[in-house]
Amino acid sequence: MTATLLDGKATAAEIKDELRTRVKALAERGITPGLGTVLVGADPGSQAYVNGKHRDCAEVGIASIRRELPADATQAQVDAVLDELNADPACHGYIVQLPLPGHLDTQRVLELIDPDKDADGLHPVNLGRLVLGYDGPLPCTPRGIVELLRRHDVALRGAKVAVVGRGNTVGRPLGLLLTRRSENATVTLCHTGTLDLASHTRAADIVIVAAGVPGLLTADMITPGAVVVDVGITRVIGPDGKGRYTGDVAAEAAEAAGKLVPMPGGVGPMTRAMLLTNVVERAERD
């Protein structure tokens, strides 16, 4: 069997079309949504991601506010940029590109973001709102996964979902999102240390792998026909000596799935579309 691919790139393009309409409606009210990015250092991967976000903004009519600091920026310099964006009425939401250089305090930085401008939905206040079931910006990758499944009629209500990975950006908030009353999935939150991990993934209708371990999910770990979502994105050096990104789902597991959200072309483009959505939603409340 060959899995049906759920095309995140095409779905993200649909969402961007919808956002373009909403941005036009905002323009009639004299509002231009603005997304800020803060990049510290010159890591080529991070630069590429940030460039992608600004391209996305241009496509839908969101204004880009770009702040770049050198790799040796002091904590005080970073703090000053966040103070400035928090105070800037043209900036409806912003993100600080992670990971930050090791000498900076990531927790402090994330806590300095005004929770109402937290386009990533990763501020402790917003993760707390998610726990409590209050409204707030939702984390982009979990929201993107739920939106992609919804738009492809993958039922969550009553589904058994195994999430592999308990990180703060994907696995843990995804478990919270999927168990909300509006989704009503039954979630088993696993990690690479879970005893007999395969027994949990085999029992699931939907397996979402976000562990950052290339090839972790093998064919014997799923029930044939299951829905499989690959969230892994790890840079590896190929046999040709060139760098490339690889997911957490082994090729044979991708074959055995009924539906597959692939990497690339799946969760990544949806994450970016949800970042734009968070900013437009915030601007609509102006």
Does 181 count as an annotated binding residue? no
- By the rule CB under 6 A, 174 interacts with ligand GUE: no
Query: To the nearest whole angstrom, how small is the minimum distance from the Cβ of residue 106 to ligand GUE?
Result: 10
- By the rule CB under 6 A, 124 interacts with ligand GUE: no
- By the rule CB under 6 A, 94 interacts with ligand GUE: no
CB burial string 153-178: b at 16+ within 10 A, e below: ebebeebebbbbbbeebbbbbbbbbb
C-beta of 179 vs 246, nearer to ligand GUE: 246
Which residues, in sequence order, are CB contacts of 55 under 8 Å at separation 6+?
none
- By the rule CB under 6 A, 230 interacts with ligand GUE: no
Which residues, in sequence order, are CB contacts of 198 under 8 Å at separation 6+?
220, 221
For the chain, the C-alpha Rg in angstroms (whole number) is 19
Total residues binding ligand GUE (CB under 6 A): 16
Torsion sign over Cα 114, 86, 27, 59: negative
- Which of 56, 118, 120, 230 is the catalytic position? 120
Are the CB atoms for 280 and 25 separated by under 8 Å? no
Which residues, in sequence order, are CB contacts of 51 under 8 Å at separation 6+?
none
Are the CB atoms for 217 and 248 separated by under 8 Å? yes
- By the rule CB under 6 A, 269 interacts with ligand GUE: yes
| Binding mask of the shown chain, residues 44 to 83, with x at each position contacting ligand GUE by CB under 6 A | -----x--x-------------------------------
Query: To the nearest whole angstrom, how small is the minimum distance from the Cβ of residue 221 to ligand GUE?
Result: 22
- By the rule CB under 6 A, 113 interacts with ligand GUE: no
Task: Tell me the window of 81-89, 171-179, 211-219, 269-277 that interacts with ligand GUE (CB under 6 A).
Answer: 269-277
Amino acid at 146: V
The only residue of 5, 31, 98, 125 in contact with ligand GUE, by rule CB under 6 A: 98
Structure tokens at 71: 């790799």
120 annotated active-site: yes
Query: To the nearest whole angstrom, how small is the minimum distance from the Cβ of residue 45 to ligand GUE?
Result: 8
Strands of the chain, DSSP E: 4-5, 34-40, 63-69, 93-96, 160-164, 186-190, 206-209, 227-230, 234-237, 243-246, 259-261
The only residue of 263, 273, 276, 279 in contact with ligand GUE, by rule CB under 6 A: 263
Does 165 count as an annotated binding residue? yes
Does 128 count as an annotated binding residue? no
